[in-house]
Amino acid sequence: MKTRQLGERSILALLAEFSIPAIAATLLTASHGIINRIFVGQTLGLDGINAVTITMPLFTLMLAFGMTVGIGSNVLLSIRLGERNNDEAERIIGQSIVLFIIMGVVIMLIGHFAREFLLRLFGASSSVMPYAKEYLSVMVCGFFFHEMSFGVNGFLRGEGKPRIAMITILIAALLNIFFDWLFLVQFRTEIWGAAYATLLAQFFSTCWVVFHYISGNTVLKWRLKYFRVDFSLAKEVFMLGLPPFIMQAVACVLQALQMNQLMFYGERFGQMRGIVKGGEIAVSAFGIVFIVSMFVYLTIIGLNQGVQPIVGYNIGAGKFKRVARTLKLAIICVTIFTLICVLVFFVCPNIILSPFVNKKVAEDVEMLNIAIRAIKIFVSMLPLAGVVIVMTGYFQSNGQSKTAIMLTLIRQVVLFLPLVIILPIFFEQILSGDGLDGIWYAVPVCDFGTFIFAIYLLKRELKRLKSLHQISEYNNHKFETVRE
């Protein structure tokens, strides 16, 4: 069986084979998000960028529900494949699809009936509200297609077909770019054109991945008897997917807080310099910085997606030494990658951020200046953040959900939440500077603090894996002796 390669081949070769397609897929995901922002920025300007940015907390919350099922089921799937229990793996797939359908309906209803309340909560101003409502109304309808594509791609990676998963994302990325160009540039639509471009791309990529799975070319099959709610299995999936849910749900709350802080201190920043719409400019600058930095973070997540089936399979097979080697290699790769990214962001931020703005508009130029300063601060501790992301993904992959949750909560709640409130006040009242700088600096300070704790967890986990390997070797030796 092809899945056996996960426990036998060179780890470096496996990491390359499984991570590169996953990284390529996440880069494509990030790239069409970036190109979407470029089209919106160039055709609709500040209001368009602001509308897309202000909806981010809600989409983060939507993603939290999708990742709970997607990642939880994929961790369980990899472990069952390692145990060579294909029937149970197929039951997991059926359960996950049913859960995606239920969540898709719930999210669509919430997004439709509570959108104005939620947007006000996230800090949307009266001038941006119509754009944000229009964009959100369309996007919530495509939630099911996005999560189906994400989840089924994980199933394909789990059974050793990472290239097919990459092609799925490629289809979505290329179609999203095409539809953005068609609606925004050719048809000159309002913000709803950008939303429909994303929805249609997700719909067609879902059709492709579903067709591939039901065509009979996969190890695991979709069986109608498993398309039902199984509460015990659903609970197991949700528990394994709880760390990314908590991570994204907390991120939603923090993004909402961050938006309101940016609006408040952005207005003060604008008043001091005679700039109109200072708050909206600050929010839009954050939106640009966020989507560009997500290009890096999604690459690390792509590496984690490649690591996940290797870790899950080898845990199921009892090969703990291979698990430790996989973790170490992942950290080395992420550290090299993030160091290169920091260098690029510091050397040429203007080249990276300029495509998002129209330099003929004064508001856009001011937004660019704020974004250039912000991104240098944001990424200053990126290599440390990369290690934290790898460790969190690793703990999700091996079923240590409580440890992953703890690491997430330390970063988001214990450190970032108070920092994003306190640092702007500190910068204004103690340093006599801009409160906006305090919001930007909250990120690297938080990354540094979380890294210290992650190193402690890493040392403890490597020691545990070494002990498990020794026990496994002893048991195998004892078994062979008895046989002789």
What does 134-200 look like in DSSP terms, one character per residue?
HHHHHHGGGHHHHHHHHHHHHHHHHTT-HHHHHHHHHHHHHHHHHHHIIIIIIS---HHHHHHHHHH
% the chain with pLDDT above 90: 38
User: Taking Cα atoms as reference points, which of 287, 282, 284 lies closest to residue 436?
Assistant: 282
Q: How confident is the model at residue 341 (pLDDT cuts 50, 70, 90)?
A: very high
Q: What would the mean pLDDT of 184-198 be, rounded to a whole number?
A: 92
Decide if 22 contacts 157 (C-beta within 8 A). Answer: yes
Prediction pTM value = 0.82
Q: Which two tokens stand for residue 116?
A: 């104005």
The answer to whether residue 360 scores a pLDDT higher than 90 is: no
Type of residue at 280: E
The confidence score (pLDDT) of residue 478 equals 58
3-state secondary structure 224-248: HHHCCCCHHHHHHHHHHCHHHHHHH
% the chain with pLDDT above 70: 96
Q: What is the mean pLDDT of the chain?
A: 87
Decide if 324 contacts 48 (C-beta within 8 A). Answer: no
Most confident range, picked from 233-237, 356-360, 443-447: 443-447
Q: What region, left, alpha or beta, does residue 319 occupy, with left being phi > 0 and alpha being psi -120 to 50 degrees? A: beta
How many Å apart are CA 20 and CA 14, to the nearest integer?
10
How many Å apart are CA 5 and CA 196, to the nearest integer?
41
The confidence score (pLDDT) of residue 277 equals 86
Decide if 207 contacts 62 (C-beta within 8 A). Answer: no
Residue 456: Cβ within 10 Å count = 9
What does 338-377 look like in DSSP terms, one character per residue?
HHHHHHHHHH-HHHHHGGGS-TTSHHHHHHHHHHHHHHHH
Q: Is 129 helix (H, G, I), strand (E, B) or coil?
A: helix
The answer to whether residue 476 scores a pLDDT higher than 70 is: no
What does 378-395 look like in DSSP terms, one character per residue?
HTTTHHHHHHHHHHHHHH
More confident: 200 or 158: 200
Q: Dump pLDDT digits (tens) for 132-178.
A: 999 999 999 988 888 888 788 778 877 777 778 778 878 888 898 89
The confidence score (pLDDT) of residue 1 equals 47
The confidence score (pLDDT) of residue 289 equals 94
Q: Which two tokens stand for residue 475?
A: 């048991």
